[in-house]
Structure 1
Amino acid sequence: MRDPHVTPLAAAPVRPPEPGPLPCCPVCGDVPERISWRQRPGEPVLLVFDPCGHRRSTPAPPVLAVTPPRAHGHADAG
């Protein structure tokens, strides 16, 4: 006979992907390979997401952070 007080096991929640060092493109939602930015005095900062090419203006410069290299390395690492 089954114990009525036993809670049935549930599948573990799917783990979200690890956050990358770069934020997603606000237009298409893809993770960019790089983000370039330019600011001229008195103008908003222009962010360009590569490779999608979408552009976004923001009133403040981006916050830059240094992250450790990934354990598996990159394809272009020597």
Structure 2
Amino acid sequence: MRDPHLTPLAAAPGCPPESGPLPSCPVCDGVPERISWRQRPGQPVLLLFEPCGHRWSTPAPPVLAVTPPRAHGHADAG
């Protein structure tokens, strides 16, 4: 199932795949060796691209939805 939320780090349609598994830095377009992240409740996610040291944050905090577990067809489910 695809993520319904689009981010600036997602590849645009028709773009060739990147040479590495990590997305490019949105500030300098360099290929990072590592991406660290931090998130505090109710705040946007902060990404730190290394070794360039640029930071990028999401425009809004992510929205999490909790749903009850689905019944798996058991006679006692429901």
Q: TM-score with structure 1 length normalisation?
A: 0.52
Taking the aligned partners of 1:24 and 1:47, their CA distance within structure 2 comes to 12
The count of residues paired between Structure 1 and Structure 2 equals 46
Mind listing any 5+ residue stretches in structure 2 that lack a counterpart? 1-15, 63-78
Taking the aligned partners of 1:56 and 1:18, their CA distance within structure 2 comes to 19
Indicate the percent of aligned positions where both proteins have the same amino acid: 78
Q: CA deviation at 1:46?
A: 0.2
Taking the aligned partners of 2:19 and 2:41, their CA distance within structure 1 comes to 32
Superposition RMSD on alpha carbons, in Å?
2.0
Q: TM-score with structure 2 length normalisation?
A: 0.52
Code of the aligned partner of 2:36 = S
From the CA coordinates, give the structure whose radius of gyration is larger. 1
